[in-house]
Structure 1
Amino acid sequence: MDATVQQNQQEGLPIFKNRNFILLFIGSLFSAPGYYVYLIGAEWLMLSLDDNRFYFGMLFFAASVPRLLLLTVGGIVADRFNKRTILFISDFTRAILIFVLLLFLFMDAVTVWHLIVLAALFGISDAFSYPVINSLTPMILEKEQLQRGNSLIQMTTQISPILGPALGGTLIALLGFKGVFSVAFVMLLIASLTVLFMRLKQADATGEKKTPLEDLKEGFSYARKNELIMSIVFTAFFLNFFFTGPFSIGMPIIVKDIFAGNAISLATVQTAMGIGALIGAIFLASIKLKKQGLTVIISLIVLGVIYTSIGMSSYLYLTAGLVASLAFLLQLVNIPIMTILQKSTEKRMLGRMMSLLMTVSTGLVPISYVITSLLIAVGVSIQTIIIVSGIVVMFIAIYNLKNKKLRTLISS
């Protein structure tokens, strides 16, 4: 009862007087950067352990498969149980996994397979945390606060590629892998403890209880009747195939093999991405987009051009600048779409809709990782892969100018 009263008192408050939002904001400030500190450490450790770049691609594939398979389950769990508890378990589990990796490092027993298994376990954790994060904001903020709230949470997320790689690269250079993973462990532990202080209203227990299978069917039926969700998912389904695999796998390989860089060089590129994304989030927190659908499509077209240019770049700092521009445009795509979906979805369905959106839209991502890895293994340069992928992304975006449902999407 007390939790319900506290939740009701939070509703309608300015964002930074809303206790739940502040705690979510602080938790994100530690969770997302902590993950990126771990990620740059894991990526560079994998590149250092084995020269076979196929294993590096498998690091991403191992994380994406369990995430994809369990996202729908994560959405059902998010709608059935306390979101705060799920978020705590997710961050706390990640901290424990990093602690285990530290033990292997101290025993000097780490292999590429340890990192791949660890990535898979992180993917399982992601499958339960992603639907919670994306469905939690609409529960603690009013509708008119959502674009600003999403942008602020995105700022904490986008500070991560700034602070995370910068801190991670520095720690690798100064303290080695033990130092970088120790900091990641502490940051994720703090994030998990912070969310425990949130007080959320318990889910309404009245009405007929449904089985998980019935919940799943209801979610699919709800999405099928929503033309906007189906339109966005269909586009994202193909875009992610040509973008996620080549970009995620390609940037570290380009830095190390093409630019002959080190961990600091990789941190420079990833930090540039964080800066661009942060600027995009601040931009959207300060204005209200009117023609959101047209903004999304135009941003995607320009994104495709810049993506292609990254594959042609021969200089580290030019590449960093292009990556920053690309990240800015990604915010002009992701935040408006997420805000509209949150506004138009019933709160009881938020977990399932967010997980369904991510499940279907990222369905080809594991295949993207595998194909990118195989192309690299048979001798196709990563720059060629990125150039071709960028051209395809640009044409997919141009084709969507015909999509009236998306093109005419406006702020409400």
Structure 2
Amino acid sequence: MTHASVFRNRAFNFIMVAGFLAIMGYTMFFTTTTWYVISELESAGSLGIVLIAITVPRLMMMAFGGVVSDKFKKTTIMFSTSLTQGILLLTIFLLNYSDNMSMFSLIILGMFFGTLDAFSGPASSSLIPKIVQESQIQQANAFYQGATQIGIIAGPALAGAVMEASNVASSYLVATIVVFLSAVFMFPPFLKEGEVENKVKQTPLKDLQEGFSYIKSRTFLLTGILVLITLNFFAFGAIQIGIPILVELYGGTPINLSYIEVSLGLGMLFSSGIIGSIKIKRRGLTSVIGLIITLIVAVVFSQVPNLYVLTGLAFLIGFFMTFVSIPFFSSAQESTDGRIMGRVMSVIFLAMNGFDPIAYVGVTLFVSNGFDIQNVMLAFSLTGLIIALFILWKGKTYRQDNTHLLKSKTKKQ
């Protein structure tokens, strides 16, 4: 009954489709760019630089993106950023098609692309609790994540198929069309968002301080953010940059790269469906156990020299990763004041996505200095596993979390 009500929500359906198309376009861009740098520019060492250019601006602007999300309509922010990203992708396609693409232009355009994502991420993540009922938040997050995981699956698969059948320029063109379509579904009149909840007039700096003070006063949020940082730095970030290097090392092709990326997305999709069908009571414990299992699989992933086995392990990593993020994400949304939602979500979104570039830097530096990629990924995974076990041991408040406790704590504060 709850699920049916969510799907009868027109705004939620449009956001799901827009999220699917946006992430599909992004992963097409990401997959195409990684293969372009490694194969056509023949510079695996430069891959980290390009990926850092795409992601570091997002890291730097994320908190400010949360402030903007609380000050303006989230649908307007999402539409504007998606439309502009489409224009940037069109520029990349034209440069590549005319053989005028350079490493410098790719880095500059990637920086702008990442900067825009710093605004769209907090806006989309803080919009869901605004358009669905509180009791539907976990299910809405799961279904939204499931839709974006389909995009993660479809993006690399389509990019690999297009590059195999045609070339890199064609893949960039298809990504451009997909991102423009996402902007159509984000068109504000289609979503009819309510009024902005934050009516407080104060400086952006004061807004930032208020957001950080809010998070600092809540142990559950602090621990959950540490969990997400551990996941994305020591597991996902290292694996994301390691996958194309491993494919090249083991003699793979763009299709092999797509297989592994698709398998990762399929794992996320399956677990999103499960989470959307059940009610998780102890979300904090579920999250930290999911982190531990993910890192154990990542340890195995780092040592297997077979691309087909790596494809299967990528599925398991994706499957358990979702059990880390969605339970915490849902609890944070349910317990956070709507007026400050954008700023809280921006910090959580930063923890989910912003630490990838730091992992890219670390892995790239080690590989460039002669360390085997397998050993580097193993070291990252084992370090993350130690941190996760420490959180399980010490994080009593996080382990005992359930929706009931969070609500009562919020009321007291």
* TM class, shorter-length: over 0.9
Letter in 2 for 1:340: S
> Which of residues 238, 241, 246 is equivalent to 2:233?
241
Matched, 1:375 2:366: yes
> Which of residues 395, 403, 407 is equivalent to 2:399?
407
Q: How does 1:128-277 map to 2 (within 5 A)?
A: 128-196=119-187, 197-204=190-197, 208-257=200-249, 259-277=250-268
Instruction: Single out whichever of 396-405 and 338-347 deviates more from structure 2.
Output: 396-405
> Which of residues 305, 310, 316 is equivalent to 2:301?
310
The residue aligned with 1:87 is: 78
Q: Distance in 1 between matches of 2:104 and 2:40?
A: 10
Structure 2 gaps, min length 5: 405-413
Q: Distance in 1 between matches of 2:351 and 2:289?
A: 23
Distance 1:246 1:31, change over 3 A: same
Q: Distance in 1 between matches of 2:56 and 2:307?
A: 31
1:118 Cα offset (Å):
2.2
> Which of residues 312, 332, 346 is equivalent to 2:323?
332
Matched, 1:294 2:285: yes
Distance 1:284 1:13, change over 3 A: closer
* Residues 18-44 of structure 1 deviation map (CA, whole Å, 9 limit, x = unaligned): 121111112122211121122211111
- How many residue pairs align between the two structures? 400
Letter in 2 for 1:255: V
Instruction: Single out whichever of 52-61 and 358-367 deviates more from structure 2.
Output: 358-367
Letter in 2 for 1:178: A
Identity across the alignment (%): 31
1:144 Cα offset (Å):
0.6
Letter in 2 for 1:73: F
Q: Distance in 1 between matches of 2:118 and 2:379?
A: 30
Distance 1:109 1:348, change over 3 A: same
Distance 1:116 1:49, change over 3 A: farther
* Residues 361-381 of structure 1 deviation map (CA, whole Å, 9 limit, x = unaligned): 666543322221111101101
Instruction: Single out whichever of 280-289 and 291-300 deviates more from structure 2.
Output: 291-300
Report the TM-score, using the length of structure 2 for normalisation.
Answer: 0.93
Instruction: Single out whichever of 236-245 and 94-103 deviates more from structure 2.
Output: 236-245
The residue aligned with 1:4 is: none
Structure 1 gaps, min length 5: 1-11
> Which of residues 336, 345, 354 is equivalent to 1:354?
345
The residue aligned with 1:22 is: 13
Letter in 2 for 1:31: A
Q: Distance in 2 between matches of 1:378 and 1:100?
A: 34
CA contact (8 A) 2:73 2:196 kept: yes
1:50 Cα offset (Å):
2.7
Q: Distance in 1 between matches of 2:291 and 2:93?
A: 40
Letter in 1 for 2:372: S
* Partner-residue secondary structure (3-state), 1:290: coil
* Residues 201-246 of structure 1 deviation map (CA, whole Å, 9 limit, x = unaligned): 121475x522212211211221111111112223434443322442
Distance 1:15 1:401, change over 3 A: same
Q: Distance in 2 between matches of 1:84 and 1:297?
A: 32
Matched, 1:102 2:93: yes
1:335 Cα offset (Å):
0.3
Letter in 2 for 1:393: G
Distance 1:40 1:204, change over 3 A: closer
* Partner-residue secondary structure (3-state), 1:405: helix
Letter in 2 for 1:313: V
1:51 Cα offset (Å):
2.8
